[in-house]
Amino acid sequence: MTAAVQAPLTFTAGCRIVLEENQRVLDAVDATQWDRAGVRILSARKVFAIGGGRSGLAVQMAAMRLMHLGLRVHVAGEVTAPAIGAGDVLIAVSGSGATTAVVDAADTARAVGASVIAVTTAPESELAHRAELTLLLAAADKQDHSGSRTRQYAGTLFEQAVLLAFDALFQSLWSADTQSAERLWERHANIG
């Protein structure tokens, strides 16, 4: 006997899954913690961002928006990133909270007096234990293939939620600022 072939989802059904799952994750965040992160980021001497793979891409997008606000922002590992130091903040993103490069960066940041803001699904992870502030996103870990938290592949929901949560944080920080969209646009990349 052969297994029944399941019809593929329509694009509309796929959109519904993505939107509903992200709404659920964002509705569950501790907004007070995100507000605290915003205050800490704004008061930092410099802001550094690190994450691996697609999580790294999502936090790079967050770094770009923070740069648009006029903050001194660097992506860890880029050749032009300076040393992190006291008064700086490291935004460290890892769904599992165990990504070696991210945890090591958190250790380095703490050793030199920088603050660590962890973004993870795992409140008891190595990364969370190293953070001054942990921002939890209740998305499935990329190795959770049970389908109980998400129907999407691997860490997709976490990566999407990182992007959306930081876009929401950017929006809140910008709304409290007096800079016009034109002023932010002046900082937008114009070469490359």
Say whether 78 is catalytic: no
* Residue in 124, 132, 159, 186 annotated catalytic: 159
Nearest to 99 by CA among 125, 61, 117: 125
121 touches 136 (CB < 8 A): yes
3-state secondary structure of 86: coil
Angle, in degrees to the nearest 10, between helices 31-43 and 156-175 = 60
Number of H-type helices and E-type strands within the chain:
7, 5
Other CB atoms within 10 Å distance of the CB of residue 85: 12
3-state secondary structure of 46: coil
Q: How far apart are CA 97 and CA 118, in angstroms?
A: 8
- Catalytic amino acids? 159
